[in-house]
Amino acid sequence: MKKKVMTVFSVVVAALMVLSFTACSKADTNTIKIGGIYPLSGPVAVYGVEAKNGVAIAVEEINAAGGVNGKMIELIAEDDEGNPEKSVNAYKKLTAKDNVKMIIGSLTSGCTQAITSLAQSQNVIVVAPAATMESITDAGDYIFRVCFIDPFQGTVGAKFAAENLGKKKAAVLYDVGNDYSVGLYENFKKGFVGAGGNLVAEESYNTGDKDFNAQLTKIKNANPDVIYLPDYYSTVALIAKQLRAQGINVPIIGADGWGGITENAGKEVLNGFYSDHYAADSTDSKVIEFVSKYKDTFNSTPTAFAALGYDAMYVIKDAIVASKSTDVAKIRDALAKTTGAYVTGNLAFDAKRNPTKSAVMLEIVEKDGVLTPVFKATVNP
């Protein structure tokens, strides 16, 4: 009797397992999983939250329109806190547990570079929204990005300082331990000197420093007419406050890491300019539609990180459509050939899977008592 009961029990369990497996398999075949790795907490959480929001809007639009080749997009997001080790942990969770073969992320260059070799070795597509360090795509042909790279961005800042602002004497204050900051500094220096300018001061600090007064005193004594601050918004906000407190009132210039600074700084960042991937006040129809939808959904104006996340999802979608397949190698090949007009501009990938696109310079102004970045100039490749 006991043996018979156990036999019946085993049959029932086996049947349930088959039904469960069949249901999961059916669900898997009806969706395309896209992983997202973002800093949703930590010192650069503004970037990650914005990018995730942008991706989410794109996924909602794509699914509402019927999905991709009849399949719905399933977004699985992970928080890496802006920490490269946690980026690797997030990557391993997404690929091993969730069986993801395409990932958007991470946001900063260090976090993105931490996962690129793993992704290349495992044939996982990575589309980086905002990792601008030049070497990001060196890992191989599964690694893409939708943002311009640091050499171009540093050159844009230099060109703007020399040509648009007419400045001749620049100082730079940069983070010696941050590849992003160092890369921008090096290319700004090259571009500014090449344009006939002179670097009168080159000062550095370490990641995590809070007091910059010693370096700023040296910069003040060098009497520059413009200062380049290539770092993320939280650090730049600290520097700008100390810089203005010392009576240094020249223009300050930065890069896309300034995104979000108007919500995290005061009037000390007025007379500030930074290179970015798009301008929210653009009259381009794609930008207008995206900004309107973002405002309706999140009740705020999207920064470039939101726009880049949105575009990253759409270039993947367009590649899947073009490949007519869910085979990752075929999607990769289609992605390399992707061209088109997106929110952050007209995009085409070069041989290293970097986009060829313009940059914009934004100026921080005060509108109705609120700090706002507005379009100042376009700088072409």
Q: What is the CATH number of the domain that holds 132?
A: 3.40.50.2300
Task: Tell me, yes or no, whether 305 and 257 share the same domain.
Answer: no
129: left (phi over 0), alpha (psi -120 to 50) or beta: alpha
pLDDT grade, residue 259 (50/70/90)? confident
User: Residue 223 sits in which domain range?
Assistant: 151-276+361-379
- Residue 97 is encoded by which pair of tokens? 């547990």
Q: Assess whether 159 and 62 both reside in one domain.
A: no
On whether both 143 and 157 belong to a single domain, the answer is no
Kindly state whether residues 143 and 162 are assigned to the same domain: no
Average pLDDT over residues 304-315: 97
Question: Looking at the structure, do residues 190 and 271 belong to the same domain, yes or no?
Answer: yes
Split at pLDDT 50, 70, 90, the class of 28 is low
Q: What are phi and psi of 304, to 5 degrees?
A: -60, -30
Q: How would residue 196 be classed by pLDDT, with cut points 50, 70 and 90?
A: very high
Same domain as 342, residue 252: no
Given a cut of 60, whether residue 15 has pLDDT beyond it is no
- By residue count, the chain amounts to 381
Cα 24 to chain centroid distance, Å, stands at: 33
Query: Mean pLDDT across the chain, nearest whole number?
Result: 91
Task: Based on the fold, state whether residues 82 and 137 are members of the same structural domain.
Answer: yes
Average confidence (pLDDT) over 228-250: 97
Neighbouring CB atoms inside 10 A of 38's CB total 31
* CA–CA separation, 296 and 303 (whole Å): 15
Question: With 50 as the cut, is the pLDDT of residue 65 above it?
Answer: yes
Distance of CA 164 to the CA centre of its chain: 26
Residues 185, 234, single domain; the answer is: yes
Q: Does 370 share its domain with 258?
A: yes
E strand intervals along the chain? 31-38, 72-79, 102-105, 125-128, 143-145, 169-175, 198-205, 226-228, 252-254, 272-276, 339-342, 345-348, 359-367, 370-379
Residue 239 token pair: 């520097």
Q: Are residues 310 and 367 in the same domain?
A: no
For residues 77 and 59, membership in a common domain is answered with yes
pTM of the predicted protein model: 0.79
Give pLDDT, residue 214: 98
Residues 247 and 367 in one domain: yes
Instruction: Confirm if 277 and 304 have CB atoms less than 8 A apart.
Output: yes
